[in-house]
Amino acid sequence: MRLIGFLLFSVGIIMALICAAKLPAPNATWSDMYFIYGIAMVVALVGLVLLRLPQAFLQKCNPAILSDQTNSSAMELLQELLVDMHTFGKNINNLDKVEITKQVNTLLDTYVLPFAAAQHEIIDLLGQYQGVEVLAAAAQGERLLNRMWSAASDDHKAETIATYPKALAAFREAHRLCKD
């Protein structure tokens, strides 16, 4: 739809410019291209409407339909992340470095990255100030999870275990800020 709108808009503008450039015949007030100029302007306006219509429709529908889905999915992601992190925390002392890195990768791929991908929707839903605070807390948690992965892959299990409570606290803070 947008492609058709863009093409109609472009062709309409080009036709209108060509028609407007033709001078009227001697002893005539208007050019004989006046009628084609009018048609070209109508084509350009139709193209502009088709170009902007999908954006206006999405902006109109997003707050009513998508905000509840985004809110519930973002909250669900954080809640499920916290549950999985609690389970991970109980077992972290019994895991070797390969299992820790796999578990951290799973947490990042399943929960953290989809949550970060919805950042614009989260800001739209929670507002600029609160949305940024939630995303900053989640980014801190993501950074700490990456630090855990790095420490585990370098075989520094003590640092991995020491970093875990900080990552959990960061995601708890993000979850708390979403509820406020």
pLDDT per residue as tens digits for the range 127-178: 888 889 999 999 999 999 999 999 999 999 999 999 999 999 999 999 898 8
> What is the residue-averaged pLDDT of the chain?
85
| d(C-alpha 112, C-alpha 115), whole Å | 5
Q: C-alpha angle with apex 45: 43 to 50, nearest 5 degrees?
A: 95
Residue range 70-81: mean pLDDT, rounded: 75
The count of C-alpha atoms lying within 13 angstroms of the C-alpha of 63, restricted to the half-sphere facing its C-beta, is 8
Tokens of 177: 């800020």
Rounded Cα distance, 123 and 178, in Å: 11
Phi, psi angles (nearest 5°) of residue 22: -80, 125
pLDDT tens-digit readout, 111-136:
998 888 888 888 888 888 888 999 99
pLDDT at residue 69, as a whole number: 47
Check residue 180 and give its pLDDT.
72
CA distance 177 to 111: 17
> What is the value of pTM for the model shown?
0.60
Distance, CA of 34 to CA of 12 (rounded, Å)? 14
Is the CA virtual torsion 76, 79, 84, 85 positive or negative?
positive
